Homo-oligomer: A and B are copies of this chain.
């Protein structure tokens, strides 16, 4: 094997680690790939750690133990995360986004990869410690942010459907009361989509009363899966008591009851507290 210089190793290491976020690579793996000694690779990793920290490119972490190695985790400093969400709130408060009946036009924001990718990073950072095994969302609008969260955490994404379709195979269905319409709806998930005894992180676009989120929790109970956390792009200020607890929303939307055409959107309190 030709000799590979440190310069080249550092560039390749950066690409390989950041392309598979939250995945642990052993030093031996890289030693083999580059034909270099462990001590050399250790030095490489130390240099990268410093560079990543200096340029705020995320965190490179060494994990000790038998299953140890090195992993990359995306991260966004609390101040930067707060500012990103604040800017988004300002954009969302623009009059042209408020629709009749106090609805807010959000769809374009929920499908832009730069935006959902940053949201995914903020959510992932909050839930690494909860150690979920997969990310769960309910179709449709939450899919992009859930996918980006799953990618950032190196986890599979599981999508519950509004009803079971012929091309979905044997499925578990549950009924739930939608908070927004008050109607009884059906939620469906393929029998083999998740494994008993695993841990789910719910990621979705919008939380109002929490009927759909509660439905996802109930659906997971049918699979004997623990829900270890839930995150939403947007939650409404009212009702204050949601059907689920401990949820983390990125933004809070408040509609003026006297004048449904007027609404405000602000960053959630936990984002402000983390920064302080």
Q: Residues of A at under 8 Å CB distance from B? A: 6-8, 10-16, 18-19, 47-48, 50-52, 54-55, 57-58, 97, 99-101, 103-108, 111-113, 116-117, 139-140, 143-144, 147-148, 150-151, 156-159, 166-169, 190, 192-193
Contacts and interface: CB of A to CB of B under 8 A. Distances in A.
A167 B100 CA distance: 9
Contacts of A58: 15
9 contacts: A7-B47, A8-B50, A12-B54, A15-B57, A105-B167, A107-B190, A113-B150, A143-B147, A144-B147
Contact of A11 (B11, B108, B117, B168): B11
Contacts of A13: 11
Q: Could you tell me the dominant secondary structure of chain A's interface residues? A: helix
Nearest to A168: B107
Number of copies: 2
A139 B101 CA distance: 24
Contacts of A47: 7-8, 11
A139 to B, nearest CB: 5
Given A18-B18, A147-B147, A157-B144, A51 B12 contact: yes
A40 to B, nearest CB: 13
